[in-house]
Structure 1
Amino acid sequence: MRNTLLPTNSNAPVNRRHSPRCQPRRRAANHTVALALIGLLSLGATAATVTTNELLPGTPYATPWFIHDSGQPGPTVMIVGGVHGNEPAGAAAAESIRHWPLSAGKLVVIPRANVPGLAANARRLPGVATNQADLNRNYPRAGQPEETRGELAAAIWQVARQHQPAWVLDLHEGFDFHQLNSKSVGSTVIAARDDRSRAAGQLMVDAVNAGIADPQLKFTLVHQPIDGSLARAAVEHLNVPGFTLETTTKNQPLAKRVAQHETMVRALLGHLNMVDDAALVAAPPARPLVIPDTKIRIALYRGPGAGGTGPSNLLARLNRPPETGIVEVSPAEVAGGVLTNFNVVIFPGGSASKQAGAIGEAGREEVRQFVARGGGYIGICAGAYLATAGYPWSLKIINAKTISPLWRRGVGPVQMELSESGSSVFAARDGQFSVRYANGPIVEPAGVADLPAYTTLAWFRSELALNDTPAGIMVNSPAIFAGDYQGGRVVCVSPHPESTAGLEDMIPEAVNWVASRHAPFTKPTIKTAE
């Protein structure tokens, strides 16, 4: 298809002993991965590449961003999502779009711009002074010097300046339908008033409206992006079309809003000859990130090293909207920064070393940063081993280490008892009770200087000591233990209450506790086990 109002070549690409198992027997700033896009690139064409970068590494705003270069001439399009933390559809759509096969040009994508806001489900930047708290008012203003406010806006603007996009799309959400409530910009495409912007904006509006039956819920084209926004700065200072795409949160599931964003972006990229529908259908699509519309959003690791019946039990028990929602995430998604969309991550039983190896050092650092920024971590059996400080592959987010390297203690019921501290986290359970155990960690303090001491929430009161493992070390040792890691909370569960009849609510109770970041963890005074 030949473009008239929307020229396709506005710019060209720039060369730029066995480890424990629970079942019976700072990453680099950027790296480039070559992609073979079969059927899209002609023989001898430059290979497509995806370069992964990190914005503001080592800060609370650290977030991955991506350059997807088709290797073929064409425009550069910059796409940003997650600017407002209570607007998750844009972040999810941008994460999906960055995987699309390209036939020409280049995508520069920042899926989760406001990481702290997304984690807190908050529109503004948490803890930032009022005049800089709204990220989408911190970009260079119209008719003024090219100045940003705050380090995050400055870093995003630097990406735009460096890559000189021909088009800028900022993916947002409004609280209501604009046609029904003029105070909201929901279901709009906000564009500048020039002919090219109007034509492109109308193209996206027509594409998304094709799937909407109710006239009052259809998208409309409005003008123009608000001053201080990324889209307006692109118009005023980069002299390129900039758009704010707004879906509507009211009475619409997240998956529908994500699909609407994707439809609008696909319409523009298709018109620019950067993608075609046949290629998108033929290519194995990346699994779209669907974030639960719940108060607490939980990521459950699924990949090498996760096993047993625990994960399926957790999925059933924690999928309880509107309070909790749970989504499985892959090792690649963990390493790619997916946790910024969630409040809590759970690593289940299986093999700790396999989990650690699957997510790699990049993924382990993502988990550390997630918890450090205020996220909650729950490790069950293998996930508890993973959290400890005693192995080369450990996360080292809790000040505990295993007492013995001999971990194959056996599988079966053992007795457990809540501590005084545990009684404030879990529902009242008097005395000792039986819980399923399967080679979970038996720990003691690790003595790491920069980690606080852990608190025992439950004690083992009996033990298994098969396979020549040392006897006597399990009784009165921590069965469930917890601590802080910078801004977040960690709970390690050695046995398997999620797979024990009558104890299935213990992990949901732990989820509620680690997600309560507004109440800082204070280690209570408790008696030493006798």
Structure 2
Amino acid sequence: MQRNALSRRSVLSLAGACAIAGTGATAVGGAQADGTSRESFTIREGTAEETTVYVTSADADGPTAVVVGGVHGNEVGGYTAASAIADWEIGAGTLVTIPEANAVAIERGTRTDDDGIDLNRQFPEGREPETDLARALWSVIVEYDPDIVIDLHESTGIYANDPVDGVGQAIFHSDGEAAAAAADAAEYVTRNYVDDRSLAFQTGPFSSSNTDPRGLLVHKAARDLGTDAFLAETLSTDVPLETRVQWHSAIVERLLTDALRLEATDGDAESDDPDEDTDENETDDGDETNEEAETDDADESGDEDEAAEAPVASIETCPGNGAAMALESGQQVELDASGSYVQGGEIIRYEWDVGQTAQFDETGETITVTVGANARDTVVLRVTSDDGETDTESIALSTD
């Protein structure tokens, strides 16, 4: 998941923090004995939307990550986890945390603010955010120029490749290396912290720019700044708050551990090796029950030297080189995933998201796609290996 540009780090001084558009003049900070510094400042100071931004900077150079919670005020697990994450110790880089992004909605306990505005629809791509609060939040993100952005949310329904039914128990991600990082985090959290196979975490790509929902913070971060961005969703119904907070914390920990050299956080498993069967001493909620076939059940024998590597998704077109040539609207193109592979294992499932809708609603090693009237159609392939590892690949079919 880490990019070659991980050293792209912007560290604000105390004075610089106050210069961010829309922030207040109040800022506090201090250095610790290990060289780590902590500071905080407010945005929208003096208004009902006032909230605090927390910044932890390590002495060692590294990437910058932003973690956001409370964009929707009724999604308690997200902002509760983010509040704890603000206190995490890091060994490299910078961790910026905005636990209660939407203070008014949190106070109300509702998704929207007093005016019925959904904050997570106020971040259009390529344009200025549409409300004062959205602009203040975006100013923080632009100033820190993060390598990674993680937004924590909750849903009343479980994601099953159809956002209409709910998006809980899912990690949505931007393009590129973020797909593999999301799949790794989903597998890790499911294996170590989920004991009900029906609550296994799934992954999905962000919806395209011209597809609803639009105006999401993470979409703008990914497409305007080139950031690896993630939207984590836990199920909020019939799941204790403590469990939801643990899931969120584990997702963030998995995504950031290598990048920021995180210290061990409370409740984290000591090992993430899927080859260690029945590792009940290293988790705390029954992952030894083989909660789903897509986690570690294929590795129960403990044969580490025979463990399969992660799969590699591959798409070929017929006619050949279809991704590079201008196609005609209505032309049919066959997409072939037979070149996908996994060293030491086999691919057991091929799933396709035609139009990058976040719905993998077609299956099979090959599919036929009719190029639409849009100038550019994106198709995403997700392959799953026999030990539950996943990989994604995308292709754009252009009529330009």
Q: TM-score, normalised by structure 2?
A: 0.59
The alpha carbon displacement at 1:177 in A equals 1.6
Q: Which residue of 2 aligns with 1:239?
A: 226
- Give per-residue Cα distances to partners, 1:448-506, cap 9 Å, x unaligned: xxxxxxxxxxxxxxxxxxxxxxxxxxxxxxxxxxxxxxxxxxxxxxxxxxxxxxxxxxx
**SS at structure 1 position matched to 2:56:** strand
The alpha carbon displacement at 1:276 in A equals 3.8
Amino acid aligned to 2:118 = D
Q: Which residue of 2 aligns with 1:21?
A: none
Equivalences for residues 446-485 of structure 1 within 5 A = none
**SS at structure 2 position matched to 1:272:** helix
**SS at structure 1 position matched to 2:146:** coil
Q: Work out which of the residue numbers 77, 82, 103 in structure 1 matches 2:91.
A: 103
**SS at structure 1 position matched to 2:157:** coil
Matched, 1:137 2:121: yes
Q: Which residue of 1 aligns with 2:32?
A: 35
Q: Work out which of the residue numbers 223, 227, 230 in structure 1 matches 2:217.
A: 230
Distance 1:236 1:89 in 2: 27
Amino acid aligned to 1:262 = S
Equivalences for residues 183-222 of structure 1 within 5 A = 183-192=165-174, 194-210=175-191, 211-222=193-204
- Give per-residue Cα distances to partners, 1:41-63, cap 9 Å, x unaligned: 4xxxxx21111100100011001
Distance 1:219 1:236 in 2: 25
**SS at structure 2 position matched to 1:90:** helix
Matched, 1:264 2:251: yes
Distance 2:267 2:37 in 1: 17
- Whether the aligned pair in 2 keeps the contact of 1:74 and 1:274 (CA below 8 Å) is no
- Whether the aligned pair in 2 keeps the contact of 1:205 and 1:221 (CA below 8 Å) is yes
Dislocated runs of 4+, deviation >3 Å: 4-8, 179-182, 278-281
Distance 1:180 1:162 in 2: 35
- Whether the aligned pair in 1 keeps the contact of 2:10 and 2:144 (CA below 8 Å) is no
The alpha carbon displacement at 1:7 in A equals 4.7
The alpha carbon displacement at 1:125 in A equals 1.3
The alpha carbon displacement at 1:278 in A equals 8.1
The alpha carbon displacement at 1:124 in A equals 0.5
Equivalences for residues 261-410 of structure 1 within 5 A = 261-277=248-264
The alpha carbon displacement at 1:84 in A equals 0.2
- Whether the aligned pair in 2 keeps the contact of 1:100 and 1:280 (CA below 8 Å) is no
Distance 1:186 1:31 in 2: 36
Distance 1:278 1:79 in 2: 16
- Whether the aligned pair in 2 keeps the contact of 1:13 and 1:105 (CA below 8 Å) is no
Distance 1:8 1:103, change over 3 A: farther
Q: Which residue of 1 aligns with 2:140?
A: 159
Distance 1:189 1:88 in 2: 17
Q: Which residue of 1 aligns with 2:238?
A: 251
Which ranges of structure 2 fall in alignment gaps of 5 or more residues?
Answer: 14-23, 208-212, 269-400
Amino acid aligned to 1:73 = D
- Whether the aligned pair in 1 keeps the contact of 2:7 and 2:61 (CA below 8 Å) is no
The alpha carbon displacement at 1:15 in A equals 5.6
- Give per-residue Cα distances to partners, 1:78-135, cap 9 Å, x unaligned: 1110000000111111110111111001011110011111111100012x2x5xx000
Amino acid aligned to 2:31 = A
Q: Which residue of 2 aligns with 1:80?
A: 68
Amino acid aligned to 2:166 = S
Amino acid aligned to 1:261 = H
**Please, what is the CA RMSD of the aligned residues?**
2.3
Distance 1:246 1:14 in 2: 29
The alpha carbon displacement at 1:189 in A equals 0.3
Distance 1:242 1:80, change over 3 A: same
- Give per-residue Cα distances to partners, 1:4-59, cap 9 Å, x unaligned: 7655724235362xxxxxxxxxx9610112223xxxx4xxxxx2111110010001
**SS at structure 1 position matched to 2:78:** helix
Larger Rg: 1
Amino acid aligned to 1:55 = I
The alpha carbon displacement at 1:181 in A equals 7.4
- Whether the aligned pair in 2 keeps the contact of 1:189 and 1:244 (CA below 8 Å) is yes
Amino acid aligned to 2:154 = E
- Whether the aligned pair in 2 keeps the contact of 1:93 and 1:261 (CA below 8 Å) is yes
Distance 1:28 1:161, change over 3 A: closer
Amino acid aligned to 1:109 = T
**SS at structure 2 position matched to 1:29:** strand
Distance 2:170 2:7 in 1: 25
Q: Which residue of 1 aligns with 2:298?
A: none
**SS at structure 1 position matched to 2:139:** helix
Q: Which residue of 1 aligns with 2:340?
A: none
- Whether the aligned pair in 1 keeps the contact of 2:9 and 2:145 (CA below 8 Å) is no
Distance 1:185 1:101 in 2: 30
Q: Work out which of the residue numbers 95, 109, 114 in structure 2 matches 1:121.
A: 109
Distance 1:7 1:180 in 2: 31
Distance 1:15 1:231, change over 3 A: closer
Which ranges of structure 1 fall in alignment gaps of 5 or more residues?
Answer: 17-26, 42-46, 282-530
Distance 1:76 1:280 in 2: 24
- Whether the aligned pair in 2 keeps the contact of 1:179 and 1:216 (CA below 8 Å) is no
- Give per-residue Cα distances to partners, 1:316-370, cap 9 Å, x unaligned: xxxxxxxxxxxxxxxxxxxxxxxxxxxxxxxxxxxxxxxxxxxxxxxxxxxxxxx
